[in-house]
Amino acid sequence: PLTHPRPVLALDPGFAAGIKCATLSSSGQVQRLFSLHPLRDRSKARMDLADEIRSVTESSSTGREVPLVIVGDGHGSQEARELLGEAIAASAVDRVDVSVVSESGASVWSATAAAAEEFPNTAPAAIAAVSIGRRGQDPLSELVKIPPKSLGVGMYQHDLPEKELDAALDRSTVDAVALVGVDVDRASKPLLAKVPGLTSKHVEKIIASRPFSRRQDLLMRVKGFGPKAFQNAAGFLRVYKGGEPLDATMVHPEDYDTARELLASAWSTAPDKSKAKSASNAGALVDWFQDQVRRLCDNPTSASTLETWIQETVHGVTAPTDEEAGRELLWQVMEQLIASSFDPRLLAGGVQDDVLLRSAAHDSRGATPNSSTSRAAALARRFSKDPSSGTHGAGSSTPAGAPLSPELAASLEALRDASPIKGVSGVVKTVTDFGAFVDLGAETNGLLHVSKLGPQKWDGIFAGARIVVDVETVDVQRRRVGLARAGLATPGQPGRGRQGASSGGARNH
């Protein structure tokens, strides 16, 4: 689900045709479509945009939420952001969050029959603005609609057979859906179609039957969605804020009884029960469990406490008649409960399910294969926060960086004059055989050449990854920016990174 749902103002940059804008509700519904024409009348465009920013702020559920403006990264993006900066100042809104997202494929999809079906009687240019805005709200639901060859990721996609590309995207999307699940009340039709176990007829009937208050409603209200289909798909479909708190977790309905036993055992063995309202209240107990997990995982010094608690929780539940299979189920459900305590997008390596638990058999401390000590230790290490990165899970260390200041992002000449610049945050746009192109918010993407990857090599380098780099060279005439992995840039001008990068959070990808 969205971590912090809120209304969005989306901008699809342009010049002669103007900037296409879409205001979306926190659930992604279109509230308003309009255009700005700064080349004709910049003052009017600035004030119209300022009025819309105020309107988005006032339309939030509390009237106090920080408005979010999402800007496409295509042609005219820099100019659109300059206009946005002027409008934000004119709006007198205390704070506005700005996010720049890839608009690759948005215009292609906006002209398809599927787009026309979803947005009848709407111009393709306006549909593209909606797509850009929704990418900032719920990327998976939107990107799954885009033809693979139009995603702008990697090399040679235009040289591959279209069927191979489609099959590869389908496999990747199905894997992602199986890993993180989908909100059954919010997911787009193309995304629901990727849920394992659902047919196209199931998808249409589920959409027609929304909203749902619990997973069990799928079996009772969706015609043709029988017990077998429910068994296959229910574990991937989430129902949030419904009558059954476990419906929002990774746990399959068939394992709810096991999950409840584990929660009760966790309560009885917990080192701290202070924040739980009642052990008999199912919703409060799930909330308490997740809060307890996050609190222990966030504190590296609590790793041994977390390990002991996990072990005692599982040991506190009596396994079914089949001892071996029963214990295996207990460990799998325990991992699912723990993993559901985190936003899966913030877990360094994703949730490995039984792969993680099987790896515990090779515990480096020499514990016996599949022992409870080994498995508890593996889970504790898997979800404990890495203090060097702030994310959960091993192998996720990422140095802290700062975005380019607006002054340096505005022109390559300014960027050249300030170079070398150290510790600049950016987003990987495309990965090639010879390196990766990184969006720093400047006029052109920088190249992180393979020779500048450092000892980490390709670790952490993939489309959409947030990384920190040093700006080494800027060739204004050829419009090329040379980058190096943070810390590898030639020494000689320490402190330039602090002068060249902003200390705030003005730009957020």
Average pLDDT score over residue span 134-151: 84
Last residue of a domain, one of 243, 274, 295: 243
pTM, full prediction = 0.71
| 3-state SS string for 367-425 | CCCCCHHHHHHHHHHHHCECCCCCCECCCCCCCCCECECHHHHHCHHHHHHHCCEEEEE
> In this structure, are 120 and 218 located in the same domain?
no
Average pLDDT score over residue span 295-305: 77
CATH number, domain with residue 83: 3.30.420.140
Token pair for 213: 């208050």
Of these ranges, 2-6, 12-16, 61-65, the one predicted with the greatest mean pLDDT is 12-16
Predicted pLDDT of residue 274? 59
Average pLDDT score over residue span 37-41: 96
Instruction: Please answer whether residues 376 and 408 qualify as being in contact, where contact means their C-beta atoms are separated by less than 8 angstroms.
Output: no
Predicted pLDDT of residue 321? 56
Token pair for 357: 């638990």
Token pair for 170: 């389908």
Give the CA distances from residue 421 to residues 344, 372, 407, in Å, rounded to whole numbers and listed in that order: 33, 49, 14
Residue among 123, 117, 130, 145 at smallest CA distance from 8:
130
> In this structure, are 225 and 257 located in the same domain?
no
> In this structure, are 412 and 352 located in the same domain?
no
Last residue of a domain, one of 192, 213, 243: 243
Q: What is the pLDDT of residues 426-439, one digit of tens each?
A: 888 888 889 999 98
CA distance 384 to 293: 9
Helices (H), 235-371: 256-269, 282-298, 303-315, 323-339, 354-359
> In this structure, are 299 and 257 located in the same domain?
yes
Read off the amino acid at residue 116.
A
> In this structure, are 28 and 77 located in the same domain?
yes
Last residue of a domain, one of 368, 383, 398: 383
Predicted pLDDT of residue 272? 65
Range in 35-44, 138-147, 218-227 the model is least confident about: 138-147
Tell me how many domains the chain contains.
4
Q: What percent of the chain has pLDDT over 70?
A: 79
Name residues whose C-beta falls within 8 Å of residue 191's C-beta, 6 or more positions apart in sequence: 140, 141, 144, 173, 177, 182
Instruction: Specify whether the backbone of 6 is left (phi greater than 0), alpha (psi in -120 to 50) or beta.
Output: beta
- Which single residue is written with the structure tokens 């730009």? 507
Give the domain range for residue 352.
253-383
Residue 270, pLDDT above cutoff 70? yes
Range in 170-184, 187-201, 270-284, 455-469 the model is least confident about: 270-284
Instruction: Please answer whether residues 380 and 299 qualify as being in contact, where contact means their C-beta atoms are separated by less than 8 angstroms.
Output: no
> In this structure, are 258 and 197 located in the same domain?
no
**Average pLDDT over the chain, rounded to an integer:** 81
> In this structure, are 105 and 38 located in the same domain?
yes
Q: What is the pLDDT of residues 329-385, one digit of tens each?
A: 999 999 999 988 887 655 544 443 333 333 333 333 333 345 667 788 888 877 776
CATH number, domain with residue 417: 2.40.50.140
